[in-house]
Chain A
Amino acid sequence: MSDSVTRETVLDLDRDDAWRAVTDAEELEHWLADEVEIDLIEGGDLHVRFDDGRERHGTVEEVTAPERVVFRWHPVPDAELETVVRIELEPAEQGTRVIVVETGFDALPIASAEACAALNAWAWEARLEAAAGPVLIAG
Chain B
Amino acid sequence: MTADAVGATFAALADPTRRHVIDLLTDREAVTASELARDLPITRQAVSKHLATLADAGLVTSQRAGRETRYRLTPAPLTDARRWIDNVGAEWDARLSRLARHAKRIP
Contacts and interface: CB of A to CB of B under 8 A. Distances in A.
For chain B, what secondary structure do more than half of its interface residues adopt (helix, strand, loop), or is it mixed? helix
A30 B102 contact: yes
Interface in B17-64: 19-20, 22-23, 25-27
A27 B100 CA distance: 12
**Range for the number of chain B residues in contact with chain A:** 35 or more
6 contacts: A1-B82, A77-B7, A108-B10, A109-B14, A118-B23, A118-B75
Interface of A: 1, 5, 7-13, 17-18, 21-22, 27, 30-32, 54, 75-81, 95, 98, 100, 102, 105, 108-110, 112-115, 117-119, 121-122
Interface of B: 3-4, 6-11, 13-14, 19-20, 22-23, 25-27, 73, 75, 78-79, 81-82, 85-86, 88-89, 92-93, 95-100, 102-104, 106
6 A-B pairs closest in CB distance: A109-B13, A31-B98, A76-B7, A114-B19, A31-B99, A7-B92
B10 A109 contact: yes
Contacts, number: 118
Contacts of A119: 75, 78-79, 82
A109 B9 CA distance: 9
Contacts of A5: 88-89, 92
Contact of A110 (B13, B92, B100): B13
Given A77-B4, A121-B26, A31 B95 contact: yes
Given A7-B89, A11-B103, A13-B103, A117 B23 contact: yes
